[in-house]
Structure 1
Amino acid sequence: MADIKSSSGVTQAIAASAMRAQQARMRIIAENLANSNSTSRSPGGDPYRRQVPIFQPTKVAGATGVHMSRVQPDPTEFKTTYEPGNPGADAKGYVKEPNVDPLIEALDMKEAQRAYEANLNVIETARAMDSRTLDLLKK
């Protein structure tokens, strides 16, 4: 009984750490989407640069879980558009646009949501197994 209970608790702790990591990932994706049209106000300046979450393993209840260790800028080049009247345009009339692709962000968001849901199902299943085990022991 003790091994089953501790195993279930560890499983739940690992899944909870993954849920927190995916929640942080979704916040970064939302920030990227919110700034996907942000350009510089100064001529030739850089616009918003897409942010990418970096995950690392972490110890959770004696096992290995995951956490978002940092956020780093995406080094991908900026897109440019010819808009000579824009205040952010350089001397040649080109405006740098963020390196955020809304389609990629939407796909990343869907992937993060599915991973979150999968980990939630792990927690729910572990709790149901604990409950069923206790019911069996009562008989």
Structure 2
Amino acid sequence: MSAFSEALSVTASGLKAQANRLRVVSENIANADTPGYRRKTVPFEVNNADTALARVETGRVNLDRSELTRIHDPSHPLADATGHYQGSNVDLIIEIADAREAQRSYEANLKMFDQTRQMSTGLMDLLRR
């Protein structure tokens, strides 16, 4: 495998991992008001089983086990005898920060992908002369 294709493979794994992370964050944001919803997190893992190159992958999606918020609304269908029900444990500020971080990491991987492609094209142009 050439150095260019290896570099493209590594950046593609980063793009895929950040896209998956962004999907999980968007699910959390979409379900922020869903009663009983637990925030999902996705860990990154390094995969270098087949070559010396380390590729990033996402691990299994985990549920955040922090306490759910107690919301007082006696008219809610899920309210107990005291008028409370369990909301979600999604903090929108954290989710927006995670989304922004994933977006920036995705953009950095995309820029590296583009740089590798430009270098490869430049090398091909030099070899044709």
TM-score by length of 2: 0.91
Aligned to 1:72: 62
Query: CA offsets, 1:75-126, max 9 Å, x none?
Result: 1111112112211112221121100011211111111111111101111100
Q: How many residues align?
A: 128
Which residue does 2:9 correspond to in 1?
Answer: 13
Distance 1:66 1:122 in 2: 15
d(CA) in 2 for partners of 1:82, 1:130 = 61
* Cross-structure match for 1:105: 95
Is 1:121 matched up with 2:111? yes
| 3-state SS of paired residue (1:81) | strand
**What secondary structure is seen at the aligned counterpart in 1 of 2:42?**
strand
Provide the rounded CA distance (Å) in 2 between the counterparts of 1:65 and 1:99: 31
Paired residue for 1:24, among 20, 44, 47? 20
Q: Does 2:78 align with 1:85? A: no
Correspondence for 1:56 among 45, 51, 67: 45
> Alpha-carbon deviations, 1:3-44, whole Å to 9, x = none?
xx81221111011001101111111111111111011xxxxx
Report the counterpart of residue 38 of structure 1 in structure 2.
Answer: 34
Gap regions ≥5 residues in structure 1: 40-46
SS class of match (2:76): coil
Aligned to 2:127: 137
Superposition RMSD in Å: 1.6
For structure 2, the residue ranges without an aligned partner over 5 or more in a row are none
Select the structure that is richer in strand.
1
User: Partner letter of residue 46 of structure 2?
Assistant: P
